[in-house]
Every structure is written in C-alpha cells, then in structure tokens.
Amino acid sequence: MISVQVASNHSRYGQDISIRHLNLAADEPPSLGGDDVGPTPTELVLAGLGSCKAITLQMYAERKGWKLESVAVELSYDSAVQQPTIQAKLSLRGDLDEKQRQRLRDISDRCPVHKLLTTPVAIQTQLT
C-alpha cells in the first residue's frame, strides 16, 4: 500500500504533501488565484507518469543488458478537447537499434502509473 498525506498550508490554495520522509508542495498559479508555491495537482500527476515511464524503461533496459544511457519524457495534457489526452514524448539516448527503441516505447505504457491512469479505479472518499 502507498500512503500520501496532504494538508492545507498558509497560502490561499497551497497544500503540503508528505510522502515517506519527503515534503512537497502543490498550489495553483496566480492566474487561478494561487500563490504558485508548487506544481498544480495536474502537473504532479504528469510528473508521476513521466517519472514512472522513465524508471520503468531504465529498469527494463538494465535487466536486458541494453545500452540505454538516459531517458527524457515530455508530457502535456489537453483538457480543452472532446477527448482529453495526455501526450508523452520519449527521448531515448544510447546505443539502441530500432527494435529495442520500439520495445522500450511499448514497455513505457506498462508502467504502474500509466496503468493506474488508464484502468478504471474506485476512489472511496470518507470523512474522518
């Protein structure tokens, strides 16, 4: 089980996030009334997805003995269209042939966060 704690902080919309021993912040930009003290919740989701894809590829390539030097993931989300879409662009550096590159692209869609975002999941909200 993964556990994350979020609590309002001193700014208008700011939130303090605690994950294990790590502390982060989330907020909204000034254009939406926030103080811009951290990424927006949507940006945090995209960061989680990009990080998961990159880590999954690094682990996979390591197990296969492939010469993947680095991974960069550029993500964008467009909610202003009929079918809201996340675009993920992968940049792979290393001595990889085209078959390996395509396999890594396919594997990136199997990371846990990609699965979480593309599979129906129940969210149960309770008052405490």
Asked if residue 68 lies in contact with residue 92, where contact means CB atoms within 8 angstroms, the answer is yes
Any alpha helices (H) in the chain, and if so which ranges? 41-64, 98-108, 112-118
Strands 67-78 and 22-26: unpaired
Judge whether 105 lies within some domain.
Answer: yes
CATH of the domain at 91: 3.30.300.20
> Could you read off the pLDDT of 38-48 as tens digits, one per residue?
999 999 999 99
How many Å apart are CA 70 and CA 22, to the nearest integer?
25
Judge whether 126 lies within some domain.
Answer: no
Range of the structural domain that residue 32 is part of: 1-38
Q: In 3-state terms, what secondary structure has residue 32? A: helix
Q: How many domains does the chain have?
A: 2
Same domain, 28 and 60: no
Same domain, 63 and 104: yes
Which band of pLDDT confidence, cut at 50, 70 and 90, is reported for residue 8? very high
Same domain, 4 and 27: yes
Same domain, 50 and 111: yes
How much is the pTM? 0.92
Same domain, 110 and 50: yes
- Res 108: pLDDT: 98
> Could you read off the pLDDT of 14-43 as tens digits, one per residue?
999 999 999 999 999 999 999 999 999 999
Judge whether 124 lies within some domain.
Answer: no
> Could you read off the pLDDT of 71-118 as tens digits, one per residue?
999 999 998 889 999 999 999 999 999 999 999 999 999 999 999 999
Same domain, 57 and 107: yes
Nearest residue to 94 (alpha-carbon basis) of 72, 110, 75: 72
> Could you read off the pLDDT of 55-84 as tens digits, one per residue?
999 999 999 999 999 999 999 999 888 999
- Mean pLDDT for all residues in the chain: 96
